[in-house]
Structure 1
Amino acid sequence: MFQSLIDGLKEFGEWGLFIHSFIDAIIFPVPAFFTQVSLSMLNPSAALWLATVGFVACLLGTPFGYWIGKALGHSLLYKFLKKEWVDSAEKMFQKNGETAILIGSFTPIPFKVFTIMAGCLNFSLWRLIAYAAIGRAVKFYVIGILFYLYGRAAENMVKDVSLYIFAAAIPLVLIFLWVRKKQRAKRKAVSVIEDPVQDVKENM
């Protein structure tokens, strides 16, 4: 059934990719990767434009997946899981959600898993969009660049592209999070120092 839907979307060219990428971020279980690759093979010179279409559509669809999770998520989660488990998972996602979203953007796992989960667990929508933009841009444009440079020969290269991107991205994500953690700790330390000084000034 899904294959026939994907084949139908391909008939609409870039608009089919737009629709597929949009609903990929909301509910459709098959990643837009397959439509992007198929259309890029047909017209490698348009591969970068197709990457842009898919990327923009994914970002536009992300808030809808988030709102679905926010509206229905907790009731569904509480139906199948203990409340304390859900509450604990929410705290963990709030603390490490950036890692989940960035890494999830590179994997073959349908992206709506992360958009809906972010809504379920009250992760910041703007942070979701920001980190999704980073991760999804890498995935869409790596495929686009490969087809643009190598034409149809890139078909064999992109079969394992998610694995390669994932392997390369993990160290970068960890470095990014480590730097961000250091910056937060530094700002917190400065704030702790400045507060007593401000109190002294106010009491003078």
Structure 2
Amino acid sequence: MKLFGPLYDLVLSWSRHRHAPRYLAGMSFAESSFFPIPPDVMLMPMSLARPEKAMYFAWLTTLFSVLGGVLGYLIGMWLLEWVWPLIERVGYAPYYDVMVELFAEYGIWIILVAGFSPLPYKMFTITAGATGMALLPFIIASVIGRGARFFLVASLMKWGGVKMEPFIRKWVEWLGWAFVLVVFGFIAYKLL
């Protein structure tokens, strides 16, 4: 089943649009609180297409991802009961329980790691608010974790340039499904 190739092509077309930075900012904001597609899929082709602006795109992605994370934090803090049926409907309820355990065990470190990792960051932002994590450490850890991730992605694209695009296109389907397996494997490991 080809899922990630068509998504990659769609996002690639968005990345060439004159309003692409706005789309990137919106996607980055939304992904940190409710949207399922990570902004990397737009950051990568934009950084490939305009390597001279790659660091600007990384900064934009980081800023709006952290702002979206604050929205996720506020959702968890004030609206968890209201959004709980949606969390259950999309199958995230068991993951939420795992997140609560991770927060109890690792605290701020879990935000740092989640910000950098391919795990669904939105679940961590909502859980941070729901568990009453202090907002300032949450923001600092988010800036460091998300920034490290997005600046790494943009730097690799800038460094690799156009010669990386055929590699990404060739392996996008495998990389996408590998990402899904890693996320579900981690969650299954924590649930067991």
Same fold judged by TM-score > 0.5?
yes
Aligned to 2:163: 153
1:69 to 76, 88, 94: 76
Residue type matched to 1:48 in 2?
M
Structure 2 counterpart of 1:73, which letter? L
Give the Cα–Cα distance (whole angstroms) in 1 for the partners of residues 163 and 54 of structure 2.
13
Partner of 1:112: 122
Q: Per-residue CA shift, 1:138-176, capped at 9, x if unaligned?
A: 11111111222231234448977xx9xxxxxxxxxxxxx
- Alignment match of 2:58 (pick from 51, 54, 60): 51
Partners of 1:90 and 1:108 in 2: CA distance: 18
In structure 2, the CA distance between the partners of 1:6 and 1:150, relative to structure 1 (3 Å rule), is closer
Pair 71,8 (structure 1): closer, same or farther in 2 beyond 3 Å: farther
User: Greater Rg, structure 1 or structure 2?
Assistant: 1
Contact conserved, 2:114 with 2:121, CA < 8 A, in 1? yes
Sort the Cα spacing of 1:74 and 1:97 in 2 relative to 1 into closer, same or farther, 3 A. Answer: farther
Partner of 1:17: 24
Gaps of 5+ in 1: 164-204
Instruction: Select which of 91, 97, 106 maps to 2:107.
Output: 97
- What runs of 5+ residues in structure 2 fail to find an aligned partner? 1-5, 180-192
Q: CA separation in 2, counterparts of 1:8 and 1:26?
A: 24
| Residues 23-77 of structure 1: per-residue CA shift (max 9 Å, x gap) | 1111101100101012112212211111111011112222111111112225639
Structure 2 counterpart of 1:126, one-letter code: L
1:42 aligned onto 2:49: yes
Q: Percent identity?
A: 26
How many pairs does the alignment contain? 156
Cα distance in 1 between the residues matched to 2:41 and 2:99: 32
The question of whether the paired residues in 2 share the 8 Å contact of 1:9 and 1:20 is answered with: no
Mapped contact 1:146–1:154 kept (Cα < 8 A): no
Q: Is the 8 A contact 1:31 1:111 kept in 2?
A: no
- Cα distance between partner residues in 1 of 2:12 and 2:154: 20
SS in 1 for 2:107: helix
Instruction: Mark the CA change 1:44 to 1:107 in structure 2 (over 3 Å): closer, same or farther.
Output: same
Give the alignment partner of residue 132 of structure 1, picking from 118, 136, 142: 142
Tell me the CA shift for residue 130 of structure 1.
Answer: 0.8
The alpha carbon displacement at 1:104 in A equals: 1.1
